[in-house]
Amino acid sequence: ALYASLEDDAGVAGALLLLASAQAKNRAPRAALNSAISALDLASKLGDSACRAKAWQGIMAARLALGEYEDALKAGEAALVLSISLGDDAGKAQTLFGIAKAHAMHGHHEKALKAGGMALESFRATGTSARFEQAALDV
């Protein structure tokens, strides 16, 4: 409400991403999806590619939690394209991990292994491979 009253669309988009993350952690994937979609709409209006990439990541995570694997993969692909174009290695790694998880949950194990291997390489490049390796144990 504060950002909206200040007419700060970038602030609203950022707040919506934080809200989506909190909703996802509180096991409210439908609410997280709605917040991430709203953030994507604002980021698109602003032409903010970094925020759009994060919003697509949020949409991917929410769709995964809802069991909407095909839509999760589409969101992941959009996030991946943006992360690569921005040179965001951490975003690329996180997105690849989400894509690997979607493939694994959908029974496409070879695709999951390929995306997971690419994610690991990206996590290693950013120095965060230990976090990835722990997360991979949760899949």
**Calpha distance 41→35 (Å, rounded):** 10
pLDDT of residue 125: 80
pLDDT of residue 138: 52
The tens digit of pLDDT for each residue in 30-88 reads 999 999 999 999 999 999 999 999 999 999 999 999 999 999 999 999 999 999 999 99
- Which of the four pLDDT bands, split at 50, 70 and 90, describes residue 7? low
CB atoms within 10 A of CB 66: 14
The tens digit of pLDDT for each residue in 107-131 reads 999 999 999 888 888 888 877 655 5
CB atoms within 10 A of CB 135: 14
Say if CB 63 and CB 33 are below 8 A apart: yes
pLDDT above 80 (res 91): yes
Q: Which amino acid is at 92?
A: K
Say if CB 59 and CB 89 are below 8 A apart: no
How far is residue 134 from each of residues 123, 129, 131, measured CA to CA in Å? 12, 9, 5
pLDDT of residue 130: 56
